[in-house]
């Protein structure tokens, strides 16, 4: 049964990631991206990596939402954009993410109720994650931080108009 849950969460992650790439609306793509990150967290949880699952939700899903909020705030495109977003966010546009999120929620509630995730084997601790991140993967961590810095500088320059912030 645990294998079925694993493959279901993985399928939700793949489907929602494909929808991120194919969506024309940035808000819809963001919804599917967050759903993909949560599905990845469920996969980590089912594998026994509880700390990695927690980090996936807090850091990635939370950070993506905050980053998107800052970009929208920095660009501040006015009333026309607000009206366009209201037209895009009709109740029908939430059906796809709601169904996929419902599948993940059902899986997670079933795993928590039965306690079957504890049977997966090795539990990854935060110390092990830290040793790996700042040991053999320190270059990848530093490259990711430089990528985030480049995104921040790019967002700052997009928000500038005539040498001043809006």
Q: What is the pLDDT of residues 121-148, one digit of tens each?
A: 566 777 887 888 888 888 888 888 888 8
> How far is Cα 152 from Cα 145, in angstroms, rounded to an integer?
11
Tokens of 14: 């793949």
Strand, coil or helix: what is 151? Answer: helix
The model's pTM is: 0.58
Q: Are residues 140 and 61 in the same domain?
A: no
- List the chain residues with pLDDT less than 70: 25-26, 69-70, 72-82, 84-89, 115-123, 161-166
Number of domains the chain is built from: 2
Residue 38: which of 64, 66, 69, 67 has the closest Cα? 64
Query: 129 and 118 in one domain?
Result: no
Angle at 43 between CA 37 and CA 49, to 5 degrees: 105
- Residues 50, 107 within the same domain: yes
If asked whether residues 90 and 149 sit together in one domain, one would say no
**Same-domain status, 24 and 45:** yes
* 2/115 Cα distance (integer angstroms): 11
Structural domain that includes position 151: 125-166
**Running DSSP on this structure, what letter comes out for residue 33?**
H
- Pair 8, 45 in one domain: yes
Q: Residues 105, 43: one domain?
A: yes
CA distance 109 to 132: 30
**Same structural domain for residues 100 and 153?**
no
Residue that the structure tokens 């909020």 belong to: 69
DSSP state, residue 58: I
Find the CATH number of the domain harbouring 105: 1.20.120.1200
């Amino acid at each position: 049964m645990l294998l079925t849950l694993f493959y279901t969460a993985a399928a939700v992650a793949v489907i929602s990631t494909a929808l991120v790439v194919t969506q024309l609306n940035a808000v819809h793509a963001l919804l599917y991206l967050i759903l993909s990150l949560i599905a990845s967290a469920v996969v980590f949880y089912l594998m026994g990596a509880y700390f990695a699952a927690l980090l996936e939700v807090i850091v990635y899903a939370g950070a993506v939402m905050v980053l998107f909020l800052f970009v929208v705030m920095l660009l501040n495109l006015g009333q026309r954009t607000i009206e366009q977003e209201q037209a895009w966010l009709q109740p029908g546009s939430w059906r796809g993410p709601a169904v996929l999120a419902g599948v993940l929620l059902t899986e997670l509630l079933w795993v928590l109720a039965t306690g079957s995730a504890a049977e997966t084997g090795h539990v990854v601790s935060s110390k092990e994650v830290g040793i790996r991140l700042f040991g053999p993967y320190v270059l990848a961590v530093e490259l990711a931080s430089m990528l985030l810095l480049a995104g921040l500088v790019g967002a700052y320059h997009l928000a500038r108009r005539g040498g001043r912030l809006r």
